Amino acid sequence: MKMKIDKFVIAIIIVIGIAYLFPQWGVAGSPVPLDTISSIGISLIFFFYGLKLSPEKLKAGLKNWKLHILVQVSTFLIFPLLVLVFHSFLQTEEQHTMWLGFFFLAALPSTVSSSVVMVSMAKGNIPAAIFNASISGIIGIALTPLWMGLFVNQAQTDFDFTEIYTKLILQIILPVVLGIMLQRFLGAFALKNSAKLTLFDKTIILLIIYKSFAESFEENIFSSVSILDLLSIFIGVILLFLIAFFLTGFVAKKLDFNKEDQITAQFCGTKKSLVHGTVFSKILFGNMAFIGIILLPLMLFHAIQILIISVIASKLARRQYP
């Protein structure tokens, strides 16, 4: 099987390189108003997200409740607990910052588009994948900040729940609600232009990634990250994904899910959203210099989940129905 290199992963690497070479555009005092652009972009991302949510499909998806519970428990409970186990072993501030990046990754919701695409490729339960991937983003708006609030104070950040949830309401919840309200009028337009809207989403994500890494490079934050640290993060995200993937599959079998539901549980319950991650990082951590390190595990996980799930989905796609 010929492996395809994800163009978005390549774009992320290029943007990080640009941030290293030209950090001045993304730091405080830059003539380019990236904060304003990304804030407006975030609101538009979730407005279009609301336009593509079908209330009828969400209601219909509620029937398969055991599958939905497993996916959301895997996403918001199993993942954080797997990372939480290692918290007591932290000894230095650098270790805590890298661990916080893993915990941030673990607390994020599932990705929408790639989960549905991969489930479709693997001949899984597509309606359930759409429901879970969509509802996961909504649940994450409430749960991700709550998880992070348990530990982010130790990183000496100004973590004010009132301010954070105000930003979440204004930049995410209200645009989503507005999109849902206008879905009957503009939903067809959003679906017709889905590819262009996806390109817009990725452009905003790349802007946020650029700004995050530009600030980290300007403050020389990565001087404390060694090659061994990067290798440890890489191995860590692979192990985290594989443990969650096989654990979710084991529970799905114990619950006597059919093959289609097992696929959906594993594919949706083990993916993490780079969109939500970059957006939430901007809201939760503001312009803190270490934000680039916080995003490292997420970006590596994004590349790894696409690679591994693509291989598994391609294999499952060739199976014959009984």
- Asked if residue 31 belongs to a domain, the reply is yes
Better-predicted residue by pLDDT, 172 or 238: 238
Better-predicted residue by pLDDT, 24 or 127: 24
- Asked if residue 319 belongs to a domain, the reply is no
**How many domains does the chain divide into?**
1
- Asked if residue 132 belongs to a domain, the reply is yes
Q: 262 near 185, Cβ under 8 Å?
A: no
* Chain centre distance of CA 281: 10
Q: What pLDDT score was predicted for residue 214?
A: 85
Q: What pLDDT score was predicted for residue 120?
A: 78
Q: What pLDDT score was predicted for residue 320?
A: 60
Residue entry with tokens 């403050």: 219
Classify 124 in phi/psi space as left (phi over 0), alpha (psi -120 to 50) or beta: beta
What is the residue range of 41's domain? 7-314
Token duo for residue 204? 């905003």
Q: What pLDDT score was predicted for residue 1?
A: 47
- Cα distance between residue 292 and residue 285, in whole Å: 11
- Phi, psi of 29, deg, nearest 5: 90, 0
- Cα distance between residue 208 and residue 42, in whole Å: 10
Whole-number Cα distances in Å, 290 to 83, 107, 140, 142: 19, 18, 22, 24
Residue 238 has pLDDT above 90, yes or no: yes
- Asked if residue 321 belongs to a domain, the reply is no
Q: What is the mean pLDDT of residues 14-21?
A: 90
Q: 183 near 50, Cβ under 8 Å?
A: yes
- Cα distance between residue 44 and residue 172, in whole Å: 9
- Asked if residue 217 belongs to a domain, the reply is yes
User: What is the tens place of the pLDDT at every residue in 156-211?
Assistant: 455 566 777 787 788 878 888 899 899 889 988 998 998 898 888 888 888 888 88
- Asked if residue 93 belongs to a domain, the reply is yes
- Asked if residue 219 belongs to a domain, the reply is yes
Q: 237 near 53, Cβ under 8 Å?
A: no
Q: 52 near 191, Cβ under 8 Å?
A: yes
CATH code (residue 286): 1.20.1530.20
Query: Could you report how far apart the first and last alpha carbons of the chain are, in Å?
Result: 24
Helix (H, G, I), strand (E, B) or coil at 291: helix
Token duo for residue 162? 């009132």
User: What is the tens place of the pLDDT at every residue in 36-77?
Assistant: 888 898 889 889 888 887 777 666 656 788 999 999 999 999
- Asked if residue 320 belongs to a domain, the reply is no
What residue ranges in the chain does DSSP mark as E strands? Answer: none
Whole-number Cα distances in Å, 306 to 21, 143, 303: 28, 24, 5
Q: What pLDDT score was predicted for residue 4?
A: 60
